[in-house]
Structure 1
Amino acid sequence: MKRLIRNTLRSRWLQRAVGLLAAEYLRLVWLTNKFSYDPPDVYELVEPRMPSIFAFWHGQHFMTPFIKTKDSHRAKVLISLHRDGEFNAIAAARLGIGTIRGSGDHGAAFHRKGGVGAFKEMVRALQENYNVALTADVPKRSRVAGLGIIMLARESGRPIMPFAMATSRFIRLNNWDHTTINLPFGRGALVGIEEVFVPPDADAATMERLRQQLEANLNEATRRAYARVGRPEEALHG
């Protein structure tokens, strides 16, 4: 029985069906929430700095495909090679976002999880004028920014743009990253925070300082996003 369930979950037809349904559900959420922007001219400020590395917290990622509002906003997102990543990849493609498969982890599992290839592909995508979006967290450690994204910024020469998206109505799961499932018919907020630029000659101490800055900026973006939708208490968990 367990094998049957496992094989069913791995079947291409089910993964495609779930991915497409998820994409259309997220589109419904986007269209039925009234979104505000902080700062109000966030796109005017960010566009001259593209292509950029867009950073957000794990578990807060479902609405991120909708930061792409123009065809000229070419974007790719890093998605894990895990089975659950297949659903996310299909949903992202449905919403017009390219995918890069692999791990952002720079620990012991980096090579095994396709991290080296994914890192090179992200650098190449930025060189080809794609924005690249990825979670900043260390795997399984929510709200702790890793050095992987700092290394990507140093190697590519592109700025990191920290941001957060929140909705007033949601369901929060009791897992490691407190995954938030956004619900329709409410209010939403997109908050962009000061960019983080990593110089090409950054040493270990500089990279650690910028890692801490990115972590602080993402927490501040999350706090402001939940405050804008009237749920300030949720920022601590979000």
Structure 2
Amino acid sequence: MKKLLRNTLRSSWFQRAVGILAAEYLRLVWRTNKFTFDPPDVYDRVEPQMPAIFAFWHGQHFLTPFIKNKDWYKARVLISRHRDGEFNAIAAERLGIGTIRGSGDHGGAFHRKGGVGAFKEMVRTLEGGCNVALTADVPKRSRVAGHGIIMLARESGRPIMPFAMATSRFIRLKNWDRTTVNLPFGRGALVGIKEIHVPPDADAATMEALRLELEETLNEATRRAYAQLGRPGPEDA
């Protein structure tokens, strides 16, 4: 029985079914929450700088496909090669977002998880005029920005756009990243404070300073998003 259940969970048809259901659920959440934007002209500020690198925290990223609010926006999202990432990829593609498979890591697993190939593909994607979205933190160090996204900005010459999205109704899990499952029929907030540019000749000290700036900017955006809704953020959980 356990083997049958395991095989079912890993089967392509099951992964596809879960991915489709997840996409339609997220569409419901987006359509039934009234979103405010901070600043109100956030899209007017972002559009001239596209293609860009959109950055979020792990566990706060489920609604990120809906930042692509115009048909002409092109975007691809970095998703883990792990089998758990399969239905995430299916959901993203159903919502009109392309995928890049691979993940970051703080150690040698970066190569095993397809990190090098994914990095090169993200650079090519940005050079081709398409936005890239990814989480700035790497498992399992929640809300600690990794160096990979800073390296991507330096290599591609494209700005990092840190964003936070929150809803007034949610379920928050007690896992490493305090995953927040957004619920329908409430209010929402999208916050984008400022972009971060990484010079092509940035040395190690400059990149570390920009990594810390990205970390603080994402934390501030997340705090502001939840504060606007009168709800506690993941750091308060």
- Please tell me the TM-score bracket, short chain as reference: over 0.9
What amino acid sits opposite 2:194 in the alignment? E
What amino acid sits opposite 1:224 in the alignment? R
Per-residue Cα deviation, 1:51-90 (whole angstroms, up to 9, x for no partner): 0000000000110000001111100000001111001000
Confirm or deny: 8 A CA contact 1:226 1:235 kept in the other structure: no
Confirm or deny: 8 A CA contact 1:163 1:193 kept in the other structure: yes
Where do 1:116-195 residues align within 5 Å? 116-195=116-195
What is the percent sequence identity of the aligned residues?
A: 81
**3-state secondary structure, aligned to 1:145:** coil
Which residue matches 1:52? 52
Q: Distance in 2 between matches of 1:128 and 1:6?
A: 40
Per-residue Cα deviation, 1:72-112 (whole angstroms, up to 9, x for no partner): 11000000011110010000000000000001225210110
Confirm or deny: 8 A CA contact 1:106 1:148 kept in the other structure: no
Residues 1:96 and 2:92 aligned together: no
Which residue matches 1:227? 227
Give the root-mean-square deviation of aligned CA atoms: 1.0
Q: How many equivalent residue pairs?
A: 237
**3-state secondary structure, aligned to 2:109:** coil
Per-residue Cα deviation, 1:190-215 (whole angstroms, up to 9, x for no partner): 00021111001111100000000000
Confirm or deny: 8 A CA contact 1:76 1:130 kept in the other structure: yes
Q: Distance in 2 between matches of 1:237 and 1:134?
A: 23
Confirm or deny: 8 A CA contact 1:32 1:184 kept in the other structure: yes
Confirm or deny: 8 A CA contact 1:160 1:196 kept in the other structure: yes
Confirm or deny: 8 A CA contact 1:10 1:83 kept in the other structure: yes
What amino acid sits opposite 1:211 in the alignment? R
Q: Cα offset for 1:3? A: 2.3
TM-score (norm 2): 0.98
Confirm or deny: 8 A CA contact 2:150 2:210 kept in the other structure: yes
Q: Distance in 2 between matches of 1:107 and 1:200?
A: 24
What amino acid sits opposite 1:91 in the alignment? A
Which residue matches 2:217? 217
Q: Distance in 1 between matches of 2:53 and 2:124?
A: 12
- Which 4+ runs in 1 deviate beyond 3 A? none
Which residue matches 1:108? 108
What amino acid sits opposite 2:89 in the alignment? A
Q: Distance in 2 between matches of 1:136 and 1:202?
A: 19
Alpha carbons of structure 1 residues 125 and 106: separation in structure 2 relative to 1, 3 Å: farther
Q: Any unmatched runs of 5+ in structure 1?
A: none
Where do 1:29-40 residues align within 5 Å? 29-40=29-40
Q: Distance in 1 between matches of 2:139 and 2:186?
A: 31
Q: Distance in 2 between matches of 1:83 and 1:37?
A: 34
Residues 1:236 and 2:230 aligned together: no
Q: Cα offset for 1:139? A: 1.7
**3-state secondary structure, aligned to 2:144:** strand
Alpha carbons of structure 1 residues 155 and 106: separation in structure 2 relative to 1, 3 Å: farther
Which residue matches 1:22? 22
Per-residue Cα deviation, 1:9-42 (whole angstroms, up to 9, x for no partner): 1101100000000000000000000000000000
Q: Distance in 1 between matches of 2:106 and 2:200?
A: 19
